[in-house]
């Protein structure tokens, strides 16, 4: 998902902001309640009104993500600016729950720590964390806010760039960020003859690719488009993997295990999907993607 030139992106953003405003404005509101105090019942006996949510800080919504916060999920490494897909989604969820932008507090939490066992210091985390049965043992997830595929990135003049199938990747040195489904795809789908390299950050994986330490890396598709267009411009997307098991891989908001907020946050995400808000945000921030060939 490579970024358009700044002028074009501003034009696209302006158009889609209008679309987003329309989508949000058309969302049905409960009768006799303003949007700021709107109440929805996520489950029996659970009220989702602002002021009644068991948040970390009364009257505030604490949202976490990793640092740095990468494009196209965030913009300029500033989660609080409302720009980038996940920043926009976070504020849309906050609004759905009745929290204004000024009521949102951002917190930096490393990717792996977000879904590790233990008490959380945030209300929810948004950081391209894929929902999985294994992770659900330690944390709660909202319903999915984005359907994602994994993609292979290699330098244009490398042997890896010529791969057209999973079999073509098996003899290569491959890498991905630790704790990600990107690494899982390498281990479970590609099953290379050499053990995949695992990196603490995507930045380290990109550097390893540029330095020739690995032949290719795996990233989620939107990040792959951004990386090849703006960061490692002598690289290309070799292809993408099919979803495994017939169900789409989805990113979900991460909450503490057994959190009282889980049902309310899920209700908010579902409402944003239903009224078109998620689609509008995706169109604004992730619309530069083109189809990548599927590796089988």
Segment 180-217, tens digit of pLDDT: 999 999 999 999 999 999 999 999 999 999 999 999 99
6-148+249-290 and 150-242, same CATH topology: yes
Give the pLDDT of residue 48.
Answer: 83
Domain residues of the chain, as ranges?
Answer: 6-148+249-290, 150-242
Q: Which CATH number fits domain 6-148+249-290: 3.40.30.10, 3.50.50.60, 3.40.190.10, 3.40.50.2300?
A: 3.40.190.10
pLDDT level of residue 244 (50, 70, 90 thresholds): confident
pLDDT above 70 covers a percentage of the chain that reads: 82
The arithmetic mean of pLDDT across residues 71-93, rounded, is 97
CA 264 to chain centre: 20
Segment 22-81, tens digit of pLDDT: 333 333 333 333 333 333 445 445 578 875 798 999 999 999 999 999 999 999 999 999
- Provide the terminal-to-terminal Cα distance of the chain, rounded to the nearest Å: 21
The DSSP line for 174-210 is EEEETTSHHHHHIIIII--SSPPEEESSHHHHHHHHH
pLDDT level of residue 108 (50, 70, 90 thresholds): very high
Q: For residues 97 and 40, what is the distance between their CA atoms, to the nearest angstrom?
A: 9
CA 202 to chain centre: 14
Name the more confident of 30 and 103: 103
Name the more confident of 174 and 289: 174
CA-nearest of 215, 129, 140 to 179 is: 129
Q: Specify the CATH class of 150-242 in words.
A: alpha beta
């Amino acid at each position: 998902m490579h970024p358009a030139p700044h002028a074009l992106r501003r034009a696209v953003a302006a158009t889609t902001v209008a679309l987003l405003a329309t989508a949000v404005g058309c969302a049905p509101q409960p009768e006799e309640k303003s949007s700021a105090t709107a109440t929805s019942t996520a489950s029996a006996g659970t009220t989702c009104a602002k002021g009644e949510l068991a948040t970390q800080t009364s009257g505030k919504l604490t949202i976490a993500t990793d640092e740095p916060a990468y494009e196209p999920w965030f913009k300029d490494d500033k989660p609080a600016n409302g720009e980038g897909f996940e920043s926009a989604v976070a504020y849309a969820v906050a609004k759905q729950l009745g929290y204004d932008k000024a009521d949102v507090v951002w917190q930096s939490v490393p990717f792996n720590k977000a879904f590790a066992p233990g008490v959380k210091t945030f209300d929810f985390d948004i950081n391209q964390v894929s929902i999985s049965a294994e992770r659900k043992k330690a944390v709660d997830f909202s319903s999915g806010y984005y359907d994602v595929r994994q993609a292979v990135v290699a330098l244009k003049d490398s042997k890896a760039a010529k791969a057209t199938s999973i079999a073509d990747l098996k003899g290569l040195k491959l890498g991905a960020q630790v704790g990600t489904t990107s690494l899982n795809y390498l281990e479970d789908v590609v099953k290379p003859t050499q053990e995949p390299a695992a990196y603490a950050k995507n930045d380290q994986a990109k550097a390893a690719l540029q330095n020739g330490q690995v032949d290719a890396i795996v990233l989620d598709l939107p990040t792959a488009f951004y990386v090849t267009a703006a960061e490692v411009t002598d690289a290309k997307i070799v292809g993408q993997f099919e979803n495994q098991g017939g169900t789409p891989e989805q990113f979900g908001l991460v909450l503490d295990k057994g959190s009282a907020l889980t049902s309310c946050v899920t209700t908010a995400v579902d409402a944003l999907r239903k009224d078109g808000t998620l689609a509008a945000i995706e169109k604004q921030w992730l619309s530069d993607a083109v189809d990548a060939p599927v590796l089988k």
